[in-house]
Amino acid sequence: MTSFDHHRRPLVIGIGGTTRAASSTERALGFALRGAEAAGANTRLFGGTFLHSLPHYAPEDPQRTDEQFELIEAVRHADALIIATPGYHGGVSGLVKNALDTLEELRADERPYLDGRAVGCIVTAYGWQAAGSVLTSLRSIVHALRGWPTPFGAGINTLETRFDTVDTCSDAKVVDQLATVGQQAAQFALAFNAHRVPTAAPLGHAVKEAQPARLLHSV
Ligand SMILES: Cc1cc2nc3c(=O)[nH]c(=O)nc-3n(C[C@H](O)[C@H](O)[C@H](O)COP(=O)(O)O)c2cc1C
């Protein structure tokens, strides 16, 4: 076995949604995660209900809840992420931003924050203006976390596109766009991790085998 292990399925974590049971943002994220699965990834979704269970991140308080640890550990082991937020008053929603702020706990990791991870970005909004501006804003946040935004990001105008159930979308073009986001995140993870050598390894030593991804249920 060489350092080029193309057989391991990368783990793609989805973070996003709103508190609404029929969240179009979470449903859009589901389409993107299925795109990642089709490209060879395992996936795990942290949707609106889970994000709502996270306390407001308080850096000065050393106590963390089980849910905070669950998110932190999942992202720590992730090979790529997909983040989906609604545009709320011209910005990323507080619910999603709080989850991203919680990733401050990864600052001292060997791979700090989202280092070395592709991050697909999805925004829903009631109009094209917020869809575009919030997508730019979300990508800036990903850059701050040292992640690699995928070349294609999806901005969805939910005045025009409906997600009536978890697996139906009124616009086939949007379905393709969301699948592309997931596919690009998974493909980057496959390519990047095949060449990644942990910094802890002495220089010149090839990694014998990539770290196995935790087996997690797919959405
Ligand atoms: C508090 C709040 C603020 C919003 N602000 C904006 C906004 O600034 N621009 C916009 O286009 N849509 C805005 N919207 C609409 C949401 O972005 C849109 O409905 C989104 O698709 C909701 O996602 P969901 O279906 O997952 O709940 C806002 C909605 C709420 C509830």
The larger pLDDT score, comparing residue 209 to residue 164, is at 164
pTM (predicted TM-score):
0.89
Please, which pLDDT band fits residue 100 given cuts at 50, 70 and 90? Answer: very high
Does residue 156 line the site of ligand 1, with CB under 6 A?
no
Q: Give the atom of ligand 1 at the shortest distance from the alpha carbon of 125.
A: 17
pLDDT tens for residues 50-71? Answer: 999 999 999 999 999 999 999 9
- Of 7-11, 29-33, 92-96, which range is least confident? 7-11
Question: How would you classify residue 17: left for phi > 0, otherwise alpha for psi between -120 and 50, otherwise beta?
Answer: left
- 123 Cβ neighbours under 8 A, 6+ residues apart: 84, 85, 86, 87, 130, 131, 134, 135, 138, 153, 154, 155, 156
Cα distances (Å, whole numbers) of residue 107 to 59, 113, 209: 12, 5, 25
Q: Identify the pLDDT of residue 6.
A: 54
Q: How confident is the model at residue 89 (pLDDT cuts 50, 70, 90)?
A: very high
Mean pLDDT score of the chain: 89
Any idea what the Cα angle at residue 54 is, between residues 30 and 130, rounded to 5°?
A: 55
pLDDT band for 202, please (50, 70, 90 cuts).
Answer: very low
Q: Give whole-number Cα distances, 185 to 63, 141, 159, 205, 215, in Å.
A: 32, 17, 27, 27, 18
CB 155 within 8 A of CB 7: no
Q: Tell me how far apart the alpha carbons of residues 70 and 65 are, in angstroms, rounded to a whole number.
A: 9
Q: How far is the CA of 152 from the centre of ligand 1 (A)?
A: 22
Percent of the chain whose predicted confidence (pLDDT) is above 90: 84
CA 3 to ligand 1 center in whole angstroms:
45
Q: List pLDDT tens digits, range 128-141.
A: 999 999 999 999 99
With residue 194 as reference, give the H or E element that holds it.
Answer: helix 172-195
Q: Which helix (H) or strand (E) holds 130?
A: helix 128-144
- Give me ligand 1 centre to Cα 138, in Å: 15
Q: Which pair of structure tokens corresponds to residue 71?
A: 């998110």
Mean pLDDT of 143-170: 98
- For a mutational test of ligand 1's pocket, the pick from 126, 157, 158, i.e. the residue with the most ligand atoms closer than 8 A to its C-beta, is 126
pLDDT-based confidence at residue 198 (cuts at 50, 70, 90): low
Q: What separation in Å is there between the alpha carbon of 44 and the centre of ligand 1?
A: 24
Which of 15, 136, 143 has its CA nearest to residue 81? 15
pLDDT at residue 178 tops 70: yes
Is 3.40.50.720 the CATH classification of the domain at 11-57+65-195?
no
The residue contributing the CA closest to ligand 1 atom 31 is: 88
Q: Is the pLDDT of residue 22 over 60?
A: yes
What confidence score (pLDDT) does residue 70 get? 98
| Cα–ligand 1 centroid distance for 187 (angstroms) | 30
